Amino acid sequence: MGLDEDAVTDHAAHRVVIVGGGFGGLQATLRLRRTDIDVTLVDRRNFHLFQPLTYQVATGALSPGEIAYPLRAIFKRDRNIRVLMAEVLDFDLEAQELRLRRVGGVPAPERLPYDTLIVGGGSRYSYFGRDEWRQYAAEVKSLESALAVRSQLLRAFEAAEAEPDAERRAGWLTFVVVGAGPTGVEMAGQIAELSRDTLRGDFRAIDPRGTRILLVEAADRVLTTFPASLSRRAERSLRRLGVTVLTGRAVTGIDDDGVTLGGQDGEAELIASRTVVWAAGVTASSLAGRLGELTGAERDRAGRVTVEPDLTLPGHPEVFAIGDMVRVRDASGAAVVLPGVAPVAMQQGRYAAHVVQARLRGQESEPFRYQDKGNLATIGRGAAVADIKGLRLSGVLAWITWLLVHLWYLVGFQNRIIVLIRWSVSFATRGRGARLITDAAGDDTQPAPSADG
């Protein structure tokens, strides 16, 4: 049953399946709660993740539970919404069914039928076709990877403290962040504050204030989506924090020894480093590719599938795709890439849900239009840049704006309060409460040595 006349006659039976409890999928689901539509939200995780703050988990400023919220808890009072933990493997667009796979040993139905499908599978980091770099350069997109980066960063200081050889110690105390978009800038700033402020005095053999932090960017400036004047201000703030900004330098290799940069004069340069954080290009979820294959919709080089002006797939008005995994065809037929940010996904999620409701009432909808509310990036304590409808802010005012916006959008009232308290304490003490290495093998797994050795 599609979104046709037959469906319109039976509201209660209309089944909407939403794939992804990220920014887009969550907003679509919220918009449909307490309606007579039967909604199933499918995600391979049991929580919504506030990705804009994963880098704070990676640097010990926040704990995982403070930036994630269980999907079931969000919808516990909404009887028309069912949450299903499963991975979407494939689509059967003719039968109007999803094919699912179990995750984490949790049984899942093999097939899930729908009348309307909304897919918001997001994106992941791409290594420019050099997947072998992934093992040496971790990213902070998922909670799991943010925790792995946290352990890696903190372990580097421990290793430096224990390392007698000066050259090897320098390798442990050199951190390279690749990509100077908002995430790269935030990561570099946070590593600088961690080493200069938080860890100061914690060690005996090393002085963490001597840490080298390099931010590498192939473009000629940091934060290329911001006006050039704000990029310059961000760069100045980074330098003040002790970050070395290397613009116009492309990474040509990453391995156990460090990062190789292509030189402006053609000479390659090796930066010896044991910790590399990847914050460069992204690629759309593989679900975008599959929807493109099945519907013939165009895809771009970043794997985004092109949707119609009402966010549906060509020839399938009952299938919407939203968020990081799409680009949108405008009225002139041109495919437009919107910024890969949360507000785009949220507005698209709300729009898709609105169209579903309007159609069930037999009403037409206007094409999707993105309302750009501005661009924000933080660098460190009291330092941020903001471009809000042409109003360019930097410094403390931009930082306070950044704090308020992030608190406002953080899901869960309790999380907001806890994060506010955490940030206030960190601001006052320059401390970070979650400096834990959680993936080291426990000595208690080894047999205890006997008393006589």
Ligand X SMILES: Cc1cc2nc3c(=O)[nH]c(=O)nc-3n(C[C@H](O)[C@H](O)[C@H](O)COP(=O)(O)OP(=O)(O)OC[C@H]3O[C@@H](n4cnc5c(N)ncnc54)[C@H](O)[C@@H]3O)c2cc1C
Binding site for ligand X (CB under 6 A): 19-25, 42-45, 51-52, 54-55, 87-88, 120-122, 140-141, 182-183, 285, 287, 323-324, 340-343, 345
CA distances from 147 to 64, 139, 312, 340, 378 (A): 8, 10, 36, 23, 21
Q: CB 389 → ligand X: shortest distance, Å?
A: 16
Selected catalytic residue, list 186, 217, 235, 318 = 186
DSSP 210: G
Phi, psi values for residue 446, rounded to 5°: -90, 150
Nearest distance from C-beta of residue 18 to ligand X, angstroms:
10
CB of 340 to ligand X, least distance (A): 5
Q: How far apart are CA 66 and CA 453, in angstroms?
A: 45
CA distance 46 to 69: 8
By beta-carbon proximity to ligand X, the closer residue of 213 and 345 is 345
Q: Which residue is nearest to ligand X (CB)?
A: 22
Token digits of residue 48: 């919504």
C-alpha torsion 97→87→103→51, nearest 10: -150
Task: Evaluate the CA torsion angle 281, 287, 289, 295 in order and state its sign.
Answer: negative
Active-site residue 186, yes or no? Answer: yes
| Closest separation in Å from C-beta 123 to ligand X | 6
How far apart (Å, rounded) are the C-alpha atoms in residues 397 and 382? 8
Q: How far is the CB of 40 from ligand X (least distance, A)?
A: 12
Nearer to ligand X, 289 or 367 (CB): 289
- Do residues 254 and 136 touch, judged by C-beta distance below 8 A? yes
Residue 140 CB coordination number (10 Å): 27
Q: For residues 169 and 327, which CB has a smaller minimum distance to ligand X in the complex?
A: 327
User: Which residue numbers are catalytic?
Assistant: 186
